């Protein structure tokens, strides 16, 4: 089963970036465990209806970042990573979201204490 | 897997100027189209896109400068090169009294590599009725015939002038998927001019922009996306200035409390520095091609 990626081609974020971010997120959340094979550049390019250059750029950078590695000729797999790298990978997407939230909190004049309290409540609640 | 053919550029223009009477349609264009990519040729009406494509195909000779297409001067294109070149014109001229079938067979007879399977597949995908006479076709159907005649010989350089403007969204999507397939299977270089930027945005990976006959942009699409942004500024301390001197600020609107800037910078620290020096909070958002278009196509250097 290939990774399910949704690429928004009109939001201005380069498609290769979106592919990288989504693959990283799926690895961090455990959807793509270490050792999982990724579809070939060609196959993914056909599935997503994207330029193959875009796919190979995303794959190339993920390989360079040590997220993916090449096995058995051309096949790319999810690389096994040490615990600290895994933690960083899990915190990164959260930091991105919270940066926006912090900006909004300052705009709305919500005090840090109030903002943290709200975040705690959201963490404890089961309701999404 | 395809490997990008970086060796030879299929289209090289050197100091190309083209005049129609007094009017310079193209002014001193030097440009090397990278091989194995899909290039979006952008520009407003009258910017010179069609002239550039016609010169590339050898239909026009430049008033000055040289254009090399498939490694020979475009004025000397002959059978070996013409069978590797595809051109889809905005309003193609056909043999009006023929049926679509006859026109396809007629053109096919000139090309040893004409791909009948591809033709059959495209006739179905684009929903063309081969039994109809050309003269009776709607503008959309004429455009489809133009596409069929331009691509069925599997060109290695494909020049498309507004090829999808009259197609409905479903057929347009099939057409774009097909261009990607040509790129994947044949490593074809595609130059496509279009105003339907939402569609072009899906497939292009390189942008060439013209403004009143001058070349104003020749850049990978990724880099453009990563350098253009819209910044929303909120003052944290005092009033915002009326103008910003930073050279990367392209447009500015707003008042003393809030401002909206369009910026272009590759410096990832620019946003932090700007926020610190002007006492502002910045929310940054990337721009899509529609939003970039007016910024890209008005970059011509002001005449002294």
Same fold, B11-212 and B224-296: no
Share of chain A above pLDDT 90, in %: 53
**A69-80 per-position pLDDT tens digit:** 998 777 899 999
Structure confidence at residue A38 as a pLDDT band (50, 70, 90): very high
Interface pTM, i.e. ipTM: 0.77
Q: Do A52 and B202 touch (CB under 8 A)?
A: no
Which of B184, B198, B222 comes nearest A10 by C-beta? B198
Domain B11-212: CATH superfamily, name plus number: P-loop containing nucleotide triphosphate hydrolases (3.40.50.300)
Q: Do A45 and B180 touch (CB under 8 A)?
A: yes
As a whole number of angstroms, the distance between CA B208 and CA B286 comes to 20
Structure tokens at B145: 């015939």
Name every chain B residue with its beta carbon within 8 A of the beta carbon of A103.
281, 283
Chain B residue with minimum CA distance to A43: B1
**Does the structure show a pLDDT above 60 at B302?**
no
Name every chain A residue with its beta carbon within 8 A of the beta carbon of B232.
none
* pLDDT at position A1: 53
Structure confidence at residue B196 as a pLDDT band (50, 70, 90): confident
* pLDDT at position B156: 94
Structure confidence at residue A2 as a pLDDT band (50, 70, 90): low
**More confidently predicted of B106 and B300:** B106
* pLDDT at position A127: 62
Average pLDDT for residues B142-160, to the nearest whole number?
95
* pLDDT at position B1: 38
Give the least confident one: B5-14, B136-145, B285-294, B295-304: B295-304
* pLDDT at position B3: 44
Domain B224-296 belongs in CATH node 3.30.70: yes
Give the least confident one: A15-24, B2-11, B181-190: B2-11
DSSP letters, chain B, are ------S--SEEEEEEEEEETTEEEEEEEEEEEPTTSEEEEE--TTSSHHHHHHHHTTSS--SEEEEEETTEEGGG--HHHHTTEEEE-TT----TTSBHHHHHHHHHTT-TT--HHHHHHHHHHTT--TTSBGGG--HHHHHHHHHHHHHTT--SEEEEESTTTTS-HHHHHHHHHHHHHHHHHH--EEEEE-S-HHHHHHH--EEEEEETTEEEEEEEHHHHHHHEEEEEEEESSSPPPSS---TTEEEEEE-SSEEEEEEE---TTHHHHHHHHHTEEEEEEE--HHHHHHHHTT-PPPP-
Share of chain A above pLDDT 70, in %: 95
* pLDDT at position B238: 83
Domain ranges of chain B: 11-212, 224-296
**Does the structure show a pLDDT above 70 at B11?**
yes
A52: closest CA of chain B, how far (Å): 7
* pLDDT at position B2: 43
Give the least confident one: B19-23, B198-202, B227-231: B198-202
Q: Do A13 and B286 touch (CB under 8 A)?
A: yes
**More confidently predicted of B304 and B269:** B269
The average confidence (pLDDT) of chain B is 91
Structure confidence at residue A96 as a pLDDT band (50, 70, 90): confident
Name every chain B residue with its beta carbon within 8 A of the beta carbon of A12.
225, 228-229, 285-288, 291
Name every chain B residue with its beta carbon within 8 A of the beta carbon of A107.
234, 281
**B230-242 per-position pLDDT tens digit:** 999 988 888 888 8
As a whole number of angstroms, the distance between CA A24 and CA A32 comes to 9
Average pLDDT for residues B162-178, to the nearest whole number?
89
């Amino acid at each position: 089963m290939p990774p399910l990626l949704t690429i928004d081609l009109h939001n201005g974020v380069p498609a290769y970036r979106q592919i990288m971010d989504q693959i990283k997120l799926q690895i961090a959340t455990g959807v793509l465990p270490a050792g999982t094979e990724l579809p070939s550049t060609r196959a993914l390019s056909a599935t997503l209806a994207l330029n193959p250059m875009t796919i190979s750029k995303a794959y190339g950078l993920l390989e360079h970042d040590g997220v993916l590695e090449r096995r058995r000729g051309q096949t790319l797999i999810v690389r096994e990573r040490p615990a600290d790298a895994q933690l960083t990978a899990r915190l990164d997407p959260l930091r991105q979201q919270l940066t926006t939230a912090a900006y909004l909190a300052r705009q709305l004049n919500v005090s840090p204490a109030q903002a943290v309290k709200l975040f705690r409540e959201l963490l404890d609640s089961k309701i999404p | 897997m395809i490997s990008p053919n970086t060796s030879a550029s299929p289209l090289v223009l050197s100091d190309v100027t083209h005049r129609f009477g007094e009017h310079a349609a193209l002014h001193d264009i030097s440009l090397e189209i990278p091989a194995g990519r899909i290039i979006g040729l952008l520009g407003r009406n009258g910017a010179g896109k069609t002239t550039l494509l016609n010169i590339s195909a050898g239909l026009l000779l430049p008033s000055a400068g040289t254009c090399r297409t498939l490694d020979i001067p475009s004025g000397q294109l002959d059978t070996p090169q013409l069978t590797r070149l595809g051109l889809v014109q905005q309003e193609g001229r056909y043999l009006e009294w023929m049926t679509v079938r006859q026109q396809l067979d007629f053109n096919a007879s000139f090309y040893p590599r004409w791909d009948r399977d591809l033709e059959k597949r495209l006739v179905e995908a684009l929903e063309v009725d081969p039994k109809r006479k050309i003269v009776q076709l709607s503008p959309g159907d004429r455009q489809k015939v133009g596409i069929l005649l331009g691509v069925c010989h599997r060109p290695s350089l494909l020049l498309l002038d507004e090829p999808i403007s009259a197609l409905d969204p479903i057929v347009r999507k099939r057409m774009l998927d097909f261009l990607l397939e040509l790129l994947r299977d044949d490593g074809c270089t595609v130059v496509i001019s279009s105003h339907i930027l939402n569609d072009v945005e899906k497939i292009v990976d390189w942008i060439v922009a013209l403004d009143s006959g001058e070349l104003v942009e020749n850049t990978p699409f990724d880099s453009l996306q990563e350098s253009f942004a819209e910044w929303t500024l909120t003052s944290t301390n005092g009033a915002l200035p009326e103008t910003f001197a930073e050279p990367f600020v392209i447009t500015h609107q707003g008042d003393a409390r809030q401002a909206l800037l369009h910026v272009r910078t590759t410096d990832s620290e620019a946003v932090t520095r700007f926020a610190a020096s002007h006492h502002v909070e910045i929310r940054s958002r990337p721009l899509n091609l529609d939003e970039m278009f007016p910024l890209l196509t008005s970059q011509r250097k002001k005449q002294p």
